[in-house]
Amino acid sequence: MKGLSETEFVTGYRHGNRRKLLFVLVCSVIAAVTFFISLFFGPSEISVQQCIDALMNHYGTVTDELADMVIWEIRIPEACMALITGVALAAGGAVMQTSLRNPLADPYIMGVSSGAYLGVAVFMAFGICVIPGLAQNYSIVINAFVVSLVPMTVILIASSRGKISSGKLILIGIAVMYIFSATTSLIKVLADEETLAEIYQWGVGSLSGQEWDEIGIALAVTTAGLFLLALQARNLDAVNGGPNIAKAVGVSVKFVILYSMTLVSLVTAGVVAFTGTIGFVGLVAPNIARLFVGNKMKYLIPASASFGAMFLIIADTIAKVVTPTGIPCGVVASVIGGPIFVIILMRQRKKALL
């Protein structure tokens, strides 16, 4: 078989990498375009022209107060939240999968989202907040945030007692998720009708009703978290090779797993505390991105993030187009994304890399 010359080898390698970056670029462009399209849809009846005017005039003279309010206080925040949530959950899922070496791992399965949900349910039903005396909005967020960190804490405690195996960590995550879900169900049973509706609403996940300062927090947490995770990209590749290989090339598996799992929990908690539980994107986006860019984390993290953002903003836009009153975007994401994912997996001939 014909070998490669050194030039062919280096250019071939770099060319392959450029193609991976192209995937990131395409997803980002589609996400950006969909972002603008999504601004024209929503429950408020505002014409396209009004939307455009509101966009153009915001920093000049606002002529149409209502349109300006709808665009800048409702639609843009919602679209921003869709992008941030997509990025956070998808990149978080990619890192969880690789560090635990399991394509099933994602923030939802590992109990982070169900923890957030329980935190919210506890506040809504009993008015109990981990930091008492806060305004209602903040109490919900704080509760969601704190309880969603519980699975990670349990994992930290379990792993400090000796050997850490990824299978065991996933089982712990799933067990915690079940405990949380069961407790939430119990609270729902006990709750009165009105509270039940509120808890339910939060549980299906929604990107609407975001305040700018909430978006600021979610953005800050996501950006900082992903930056710190990106620094671990090469170490995560080594961990993916298995514990022995990782150690043999000088990487501490335990450190990488704890570091990345903690950050993923923080990043996920930073968004689900505001949006409610949005499943699926954390599982699906990384797995689809893997088909296009392979498994090297340097490319997989940005690819998952951009795909996740694209996925959620499209789902949210579809949700608004189909029913102006708004079915939750999490529902659309699962209903449309699920079959697409199954089809892609079934049609995929080659394993993993394209």
Partner 1 sequence: MELKIEDLEFSYTADTPVLRDINLCITGPKFVSILGPNGVGKSTLIHCINKILEPTKGKVYIDGTDVSTITIKELAKIVGYVPYSANDTFPLSVVDTVLMGRHPYSSWKSLDNDLKIVYRTLRMLGITHLSMRPFNELSAGQHQKVMLARGLVQEPKILLLDEPTSNLDIRHQIAVTKLLRKLSEEQQILVIMISHDINIAAKYADEIIMLSGGTVYATGTPSEVITPENLQAVYEVEARVEDDGGRPHVILEDAVSMDEEEYYEDEPARV
Asked whether position 227 contacts partner 1 by CB under 8 A, the answer is: no
Residue-wise burial string across 215-240, b where 16 or more C-beta atoms lie within 10 A, e elsewhere? bebbbebbeebbeebbebbebbbbbb
One residue of 230, 241, 327, 336 binding partner 1 per CB under 8 A: 241
Say if residues 93 and 304 touch (Cβ distance below 8 Å). yes
The candidate with the shortest Cα–Cα distance to 238, out of 277, 174, 295, is 295
- Shortest Å distance, C-beta 226 to partner 1: 18
Quick one: which of 44, 195, 240, 262 contacts partner 1 (CB under 8 A)?
Answer: 240
Q: How many residues bind partner 1 (CB under 8 A)?
A: 39
Q: Is 344 helix (H, G, I), strand (E, B) or coil?
A: helix
CA 151 to chain centre: 17
Task: Return all residues near 166 (Cβ < 8 A) that are at least 6 apart.
Answer: 99, 100, 101, 102, 257
Contact string (CB under 8 A) for partner 1, positions 7-46, x = contact: --xx-xx--x------------------------------
> Is residue 296 involved in binding partner 1 (CB under 8 A)?
yes
Considering the complex, state which of residue 131 and residue 231 has its C-beta at the smaller distance from partner 1.
231
The residue among 10 and 182 lying less far from partner 1, judged by its C-beta, is 10
| Residue 284: CB minimum distance to partner 1, A | 15
The closest alpha carbon to 117, from 186, 167, 170, belongs to: 186
The residue behind tokens 């290989």 is: 245
- Scanning residues 73 to 92, which ones bind partner 1 (CB under 8 A)? none
Helix axes of 166-190 and 76-100: crossing angle, nearest 10 degrees: 140
Under the criterion CB under 8 A, does residue 171 sit at the interface with partner 1?
no
Residue 334 beta carbon to partner 1: minimum distance, rounded to whole angstroms = 24
Nearer to partner 1, 42 or 308 (CB): 308
Nearest to 101 by CA among 265, 295, 304, 350: 295
Count of beta carbons in the 10 Å neighbourhood of residue 114: 30
Contact segment (CB under 8 A) with partner 1 among 153-161, 215-223, 289-297, 317-325 equals: 289-297
What is the closest distance, in whole angstroms, from the C-beta atom of residue 167 to partner 1 in the complex?
A: 11
Q: Which residue number, 263 or 297, has a Cβ lying nearer to partner 1?
A: 297
Give the residues lining the site for partner 1 (CB under 8 A).
Answer: 1-4, 6, 9-10, 12-13, 16, 97-98, 101-103, 234-235, 237-238, 240-245, 247-252, 290, 294-296, 350-353
